[in-house]
Structure 1
Amino acid sequence: MHGPTVVSWLVAALAMGAAGLCLLRLRGAGCAGPERRHPDRESDTAEAVMALGMAGMVALPGPLWGWLFAALAGALLLALVGLLGPGPRAHRLHHGVGALAMAYMALAMPGGSGGPHGSGGHYAAAAVPGLPLVTGALLLYFGAYSLWAGSRLLSTPAGPLPAAGGDGLGRACRVAMGIGMFAMLLTM
């Protein structure tokens, strides 16, 4: 990631925290038994994979992440059109856009020169015409998504920390991921 090292580590920590929340929800959903399947299990799995990949991409940048996220985006978009079974179309679309954005960021940065271990490498976005428009569109999308998801989180009933299957925990994970994506795009 381009920018101060502390920002890179904060984004990596945010992504790991979001992955932990998603895995906690998955664990809670798995305890419910097969007869009471958690409706957001696919979404939580995609968010956990994306969050772990985001943390890995920040800590160890390189083009391999781009190809892995491109494959994930392809699978999510195939699932979106119904080729991989029924499921939540809006979540699949959002996760597909997120995976494409991660592939775009991983492939736009030079391999291994950035991140918290590097010298703060620079993205190649300015050298290729049209890429600043893609970055701007993704910034708008994830900025608006973070605000929308955050407003939904604020509307969750107040009380103690939500249970592992609680809706507030899933919303918190989505807000954290949206903010992390926004921060990574902002540094391009």
Structure 2
Amino acid sequence: MHGPAQAGWLLVALCAATGAYCLLRMRSTVEEQRRTAGGEALMGFGMAVMALPAAVITPPRWLWLAYAAVFTAALLHALWSSLSSTHHIHHVLGSFAMAYMSVAMSATPAAHAHHGGAGVPALTGALLVYFTGFVLWSGTRLAPAGTGTGKGATGGGGAGGTAVALSWGDRAELALACRLSMGIGMVAMLLTL
């Protein structure tokens, strides 16, 4: 994605940090956390590389096609996993969006940030609607449960709460924050497509 350089670097940092945390989640004692963390780490690092500003690197067409192949494989894995869990449907859409953006970039790598007045394609618009909705929904889930209580998404979990006993990989609110940041990144990338 080749938008303004500062925004691109911020997006790279956000996505790389999210990918790194997802790698930490792979050490979780909760099987479901481990299962989804690998795909989310791939998504975070993939988004970080894709968001590099054009001044740093303009990837050749074959690299975008390789990206499309990697995320198509991730899409197929997510489709298979979605048979057992509805949570994986979000991974299906994320992998599809990454493969879609890779194919779009391979078709017009030098001019992908300029639509030439053609408007937003319907598929891009549909993905934007989904990820914008996901970001808003995730944000409301992270908001404090009640005003003035000082309790977050875990229902308290302060210094004396049970949330402190959980490892960093098992913190549901941190996993949701990662998904939220990747959703924000996806919206930003789709807007520049």
What TM-score range do you get, normalising by the shorter chain? 0.7 to 0.9
- Residue of 159, 164, 188 corresponding to 1:183: 188
Separation in structure 2 between the aligned mates of residue 125 and residue 74 of structure 1, nearest angstrom: 30
Mapped partners of 2:103, 2:76: distance in 1: 16
One-letter amino acid matched to 1:93 = I
Q: TM-score, normalised by structure 1?
A: 0.77
Task: Identify if the C-alpha distance between structure 1 residues 76 and 125 changes in structure 2 by more than 3 Å, giving closer, same or farther.
Answer: farther
Per-residue CA shift, 1:133-160, capped at 9, x if unaligned? 1111000100000111111112413546
Residue 22 (structure 1) aligns with: 22
**What is the 5 A alignment of 1:14-53?**
14-27=14-27, 29=28, 32=29, 37-53=30-46
Q: State the AA in 2 paired with 1:132.
A: P
Structure 1 segments, 4+ long, off by >3 Å, are 110-113, 124-127, 157-163
Mark the CA change 1:38 to 1:74 in structure 2 (over 3 Å): closer, same or farther: closer
TM-score, normalised to structure 2's length? 0.76
Task: For 1:92 and 1:5, locate their aligned partners in 2 and report how far apart those are by CA, in whole Å.
Answer: 33
Partner of 1:96: 92
Output the CA distance in 1 between the equivalents of 2:12 and 2:113. Answer: 21
Q: Does 1:152 align with 2:154?
A: no
> What is the root-mean-square deviation in Å for CA atoms of aligned residues?
2.6
Q: Equivalents in 2 of 1:13, 1:123: separation in Å?
A: 22
Distance in 1 (alpha carbons) for counterparts of 2:120 and 2:108:
20
Which deviations, in whole Å up to 9, do the C-alpha atoms of 1:106-140 show, x marking residues without a partner?
Answer: 11014795xxxxxxx4218848x897111110001
Count of residue pairs brought into register by the alignment: 167
Unaligned runs of 5+ in 1: 82-86, 114-120
Q: What residue is the counterpart of 2:2 in the other structure?
A: 2
The more displaced of 101-110 and 51-60 is 51-60
Q: Kindly tell me: are residues 47 and 41 of structure 1, through their superposed partners in 2, closer, same or farther at Cα, counting changes over 3 Å? A: same
Between the aligned partners of 2:80 and 2:114, the Cα distance in structure 1 is 28
Q: Which runs of 5+ in 2 are unaligned?
A: 145-152
